[in-house]
Amino acid sequence: MEPNTRQQLEQGRANTAYMRVMEFKDSNPGKSTLDEYKSYSKKFPMMVKTNGLGSALAFIKSKQKRAYNRIYEDLTEWLAKDNKKIVDLSSGTLLEIVVSMDDSANYRSLTNEVLAYMNWHRRFTEALLEK
């Protein structure tokens, strides 16, 4: 990947993460929900590294908390916009697609993309959401 493309990809991740965090903040979810969103944004990458992407997504999808649901939505929005088109979200939900993936190279690529996006997401939740 040439430097310009890599830079554009990072800018896309950063811009999407920034906009999603600001939209959530502006929706006035309440201090405890903002704190959860910030905390889950920090924890999710480690969940992925420890348990795998499918398991981590299943976990956050099983929780009926607004902050977890929003992180899932944030990931889905980024992956739908991602120019690399690692996944085609028109054929099902993110979780359905991940658990049915049979190509380990694509699964690793998707995991790496999710972790790269979540790195920006975590930075913006730490910077923009009050302590």
| pLDDT, tens digit, 9 for 90 and up, residues 18-34 | 999 999 999 988 889 99
Q: Give the residue among 110, 131, 123 at the shortest CA–CA distance from 42.
A: 123
Question: Which element (helix H / strand E) includes 17?
Answer: helix 3-26
Residue 69 in this model has a pLDDT that exceeds 60: yes
pTM of the entire structure?
A: 0.91
What mean pLDDT do residues 31-39 have? 93
Going by C-beta distance under 8 Å and a sequence separation of 6 or more, which residues neighbour residue 84? 9, 109, 113
| Res 5: pLDDT | 82
> What CATH number does domain 3-128 carry, 3.90.1170.50, 3.30.70.100, 3.40.630.30, 1.10.520.30?
1.10.520.30
CA 28/CA 46 separation, integer angstroms: 27
Quick one: angle between helices 3-26 and 66-81, nearest 10?
Answer: 150
CA 101/CA 81 separation, integer angstroms: 20
Tell me, what DSSP letter sits at residue 92?
Answer: S
